[in-house]
Amino acid sequence: MDQQGMDKRRLAVLVGCNYPNTRNELHGCVNDVLAMKETLLTRFGFKQDDMEVLTDEPESKVKPTGANIKAALRRMVDKAQAGSGDVLFFHYSGHGTRIPSGHPFKKDEAIVPCDFNLITDIDFRELVNQLPKGTSFTMISDSCHSGGLIDNEKEQIGPYSVSDDKPLAMETRTTMTPITSRALPFKTVLDHLSSLTGISTSDIGTHLLELFGGDAGLKFRLPAMDLMDLLEKMTARERHVDAGILLSGCQADETSADVGGGGGKAYGAFSNAIQTVLKENGGALKNKQLVMMARDVLERLGFQQHPCLYCSDQNADATFLSQP
């Protein structure tokens, strides 16, 4: 390994939300992040002390609330050094949702922490904008509606720029393994928050601010004009030098599958596809290669979801997690 590779710091935040003993319960999310943790340690040179793992298992001391996830991500960014080539990684397995954006025909993507304090695509864009120059932030989101979770990130592989001419996969699975969607409809999220606040309004921001105050997402905390200014600054950024890399489990209008929960070991379909590709290919893989191979695995197994890649042109051809 060259000196630069030796000096790189590899930092990770891994989040798995199974929502145990609720009507929204999933089964494979904690398994996803534990499998990824092992892969980071054994293949990609990450160290135990440079990883934070947040799960909602009963024995977990730090739960994956919205505030705790954002605090862990902020700590990770604060540790990164400018010009170092530091590799930052965030894996999320759990529910995703889409919420009104304030613009007709457009919705914002969000992940759903265990306390329903939504983290939106705008929050992830703001995080990427804070990265020290010369570092990278790779995000895997095995959740529904995860395409576009870093706002205004350039699409490399997605619904509008597919890299091959194969038709979309149809549902062909014949197994009886239980399959659960990792999607929470907006109404489900709104009804849950309304039950906590007791406020009768369809404005989700009102509920989030009432429940979480300053820990609510940027979209809900900033006045409309300030948010517009922020979004304009984001749009003006040069996307070809952007440091954000998003590998999403599906397109923005699709759902991601949570598999199992019966007798077998549960997992996320996309997370499992990533692990399968890495095991079948021992060498370094480009981000673009990894996503296309994961698409092939899911199609082969009959899953009707299409992983996407959002990043700069340069990072599309960069090695996944800068594997030595």
- Return the active site residues: 95, 144
Residues 139/143/125/221 CA torsion (nearest 10 deg) = -140
Q: Say if residues 158 and 147 touch (Cβ distance below 8 Å).
A: yes
Give the C-alpha separation, 209 to 219, whole Å.
Answer: 11
* Amino acid of residue 221: R
Of 315, 304, 317, 260, the closest CA to residue 30 belongs to 260
Length of the chain equals 324
Q: Report the alpha-carbon distance of residue 63 to residue 52 in Å, rounded.
A: 11
3-state secondary structure string, 71-140? HHHHHHHHHCCCCCCCEEEEEEECCEEEEECCCCCCEEEEECCCCCCCEEHHHHHHHHHCCCCCCEEEEE
Please state, in angstroms and rounded to a whole number, the distance separating the CA atoms of residues 42 and 89.
15
Q: Contact 161/155 with Cβ under 8 angstroms?
A: yes
Q: Cα(157)–Cα(169) distance, rounded to whole angstroms? A: 16
- Give the span between the Cα atoms of 255 and 147, in whole angstroms: 10
Q: Identify whether the C-beta of residue 51 lies closer than 8 Å to the C-beta of residue 39.
A: no
Q: Under a CB-based contact definition with an 8 Å cutoff, are residues 285 and 320 in contact?
A: yes
- Cα separation, 217 vs 111, whole angstroms: 11
Contact 79, 151 (CB under 8 A): no
How many Cβ atoms sit within 10 Å of the Cβ of residue 215? Answer: 17
